[in-house]
Structures are given as C-alpha cells and as structure tokens.
Structure 1
Amino acid sequence: MLTRRLVLRPVTAADAEDVWLVHQDPHIARWYAGAWSPEQARRWAQEAEEAWRRDGVGKWLAHRREDGELVGRGGLSRTVLQERPCLELGWAVRTPFRGAGYATEIGRAGVRFAFEVLGAQEVLSFTEEHNTASRAVMERVGMRHVGRVVRPGLVEGLDGVQESAPFALYRIERDAPGG
C-alpha cells in the first residue's frame, strides 16, 4: 500500500531484523516495557505474517518512498476488546521520524484499509492514558475518545508492566468525518 510519503508492506517472518530495529528505538521500547530481543522480534514477525494469512489483515512495515528508509511499523489487528471482536489500529515510529506526521499517515492508511478493503464499520485504538503523543495521533486520524479500558500495561510513575493499567479508548466509525 502506498501513501503520499510511505510504502506500507505486510510484515513477514523475513522482516524480523527490521522489526528488531524498530523495537530498539528508545521511544518505542519505552511503551513496550523495554527493547525487544532478536527472538521476540522473530516471533512477532512470524505472528504478523500468520495474521495476514489467517485474518486478511495485519501490521505493515513503513518505509519512506523517497529513499526506502525504515520509518516504523503500524496497521491493524483483529482482537477482542470488552468481550467483542474488533479491528484495532496502532503504529510505532522511530525517533528520527517523529513529529513529521508519519504516525498520522500510517493511521489514516489503516482506517482507509479497514473501511475500503475490509468493509469494517468501525476501528478502535487504545493506548496507556499517559501516552499523549499516540492520543494526539488518534485525534488527528479522526478518532474520538469513547472511554477507558483496563488491561496489562504501563502506569505512569510505576516501573514495569502492571496487571491493571488504564488505557484511553478511541473509535472512528465508517461514516464519521475522517472515516
């Protein structure tokens, strides 16, 4: 999939090294409770490839069109949230590319893919409540804050993953502005 500035390509098992590189970035590692090992990246890349095969949707690697530089990753996942199946949108952009609108570009591509290719009626996104950067991207994508979920994650002021962390929940519906 192409956007104005990015090539978004489904993650495959062969992309483990790029996935590892993305998750070595200190800003990204912060939200995943630390940098990933090569083995974690390999497993995640294999699972991402399997998701595309099984679900017809998954995560992309994002490369700049102009020079092929690895910007990050993003895309959609089929998951269950609050006991119902949904499409969840996410992204991770490496530090050198932060603040340039790439996360928003990945997010908008995910919403477009969900509505135009998958025929989805809504897309959800969630992040730890104190992740203000991701929340701002969700709003730029056209999502609106619809509540809170509690799940394992990071809690501001505490070290490590906590069993019950508050996440801000956002949604965009097919016929909503931006959807």
Structure 2
Amino acid sequence: MRPLNTTRLIGTPAVATDVADLRRLHSDPRVMATLSADGATFTEDQSRAFLDRAAGHWQLYGFGLWIFRDRASNDFVGYGGIKHAEVEGRDEIELAYAITSDHWRKGLATEISLAALKHAFDVLRLDRIVAFTLPHNRASRAVMEHCGFTYTRDITHANLPHVLYILNALDFTQKTF
C-alpha cells in the first residue's frame, strides 16, 4: 500500500483510524447532498463501515481510496482513488472522490483524480475506468470531463438516476494536462 502524492496533497491508503477526518466529510450536508444515496449525512457507524470497506479493498486488491491532506498544513481535504464497484450488474473499476466543502473550487478533486488515474493506467495497467454521479452534480461532471472521461449514458445506481462516464487508458495517455 503506497502513498499517492500530488503537487499540493499527500495521500495515504484509507484505514480505520481516519474516522475522525471522514466524519467531518460525512457530517457535512452540502457534501452528502450528492454523495449519499438519500442525500442524508452519515452516522458514525456508517463512516466506520465505509472505512472498513475501504481498508478491506486495499487488502483484497492492492489499490483503493487514499485519504488526502494538504502538504503545507496537514489539513484533511478528502478522499479519492479507484475501487471496484457494481455498475448495471457488472464489476467495474470506478474513480471515486469527495472533497470537504471548505476545499471546494480549488481544483483539488481534479488533482486527486488525475493522480489516481495515472496510477491506475501507468502502474496497475488497467484498460478503463468508469465514473458516475447524479445528473445535477455539475461540479463532479466537470472533474470527470476535465480528466478526459466521456459521457456514455444515463444509468440507475443505488435506485437513483446517474450519469455514467468512461475513460479508456489510451485516451488518458494521449491527453495533455
């Protein structure tokens, strides 16, 4: 389990001891409006379960979600990375990210995403990555599009309408950022 660092951030694999930081993210109604299936904030038990799944993913697959902190201040910024997800009954590798609302509009979700995608394609040699969000989540869609993802179709995920984006390795490696 290796760290993932960017120009402004330090990422470490998500583990159970990250619960206090994750609680800040999961208890913010602005963040959870697009992150949780029902738009509700998570309980402490839900945050712990999320981290347990994230740590388990690292153990099973050798990749997953990183917890990101600001290099200068060590302030918790959010999480991001790649993980297995079921999409329309198929196992896919998904790009996932969430940023605390006090760090929005600074380009950090894109920075995290690009680092995770570079790791996925250059190190893990994956062929494609999917990403999806609620149709009205314009900020997340902008991150996906900036990273080179292409809108593919509308889907249903967690019993809600979502938009599905796909990025192939070849398309990513040919893009200049």
TM over 0.5, shorter chain: yes
Structure 2 residues without counterparts, runs of 5 or longer: none
Corresponding residue number in structure 2 for 1:90: 96
Corresponding residue number in structure 2 for 1:125: 131
Structure (1 or 2) with the greater helix fraction: 2
Corresponding residue number in structure 1 for 2:175: 178
Distance 1:25 1:9 in 2: 22
Distance 2:86 2:33 in 1: 24
Q: 1:60 aligns with which of 63, 66, 89?
A: 66
Corresponding residue number in structure 2 for 1:107: 113
TM-score normalised over the length of structure 2? 0.90
Amino acid at match of 1:50: G
Distance 2:47 2:161 in 1: 26
Shift of the alpha carbon at 1:170?
0.7
Corresponding residue number in structure 2 for 1:30: 33
Shift of the alpha carbon at 1:26?
2.5
Corresponding residue number in structure 1 for 2:5: 2
Corresponding residue number in structure 2 for 1:21: 24
Q: 1:75 aligns with which of 81, 86, 91?
A: 81
Report the aligned-residue RMSD.
1.4
Further displaced range: 104-113 or 78-87? 78-87
Matched positions, count: 168
Q: Say whether the 8 Å CA contact 2:88–2:157 is kept in structure 1.
A: no
Distance 1:151 1:139 in 2: 20
Distance 1:112 1:82 in 2: 25
Q: Say whether the 8 Å CA contact 1:17–1:42 is kept in structure 2.
A: no
Distance 1:117 1:17 in 2: 30
Distance 1:43 1:10 in 2: 16
Structure 1 residues without counterparts, runs of 5 or longer: 153-162
Identity %: 30
Shift of the alpha carbon at 1:88?
0.2
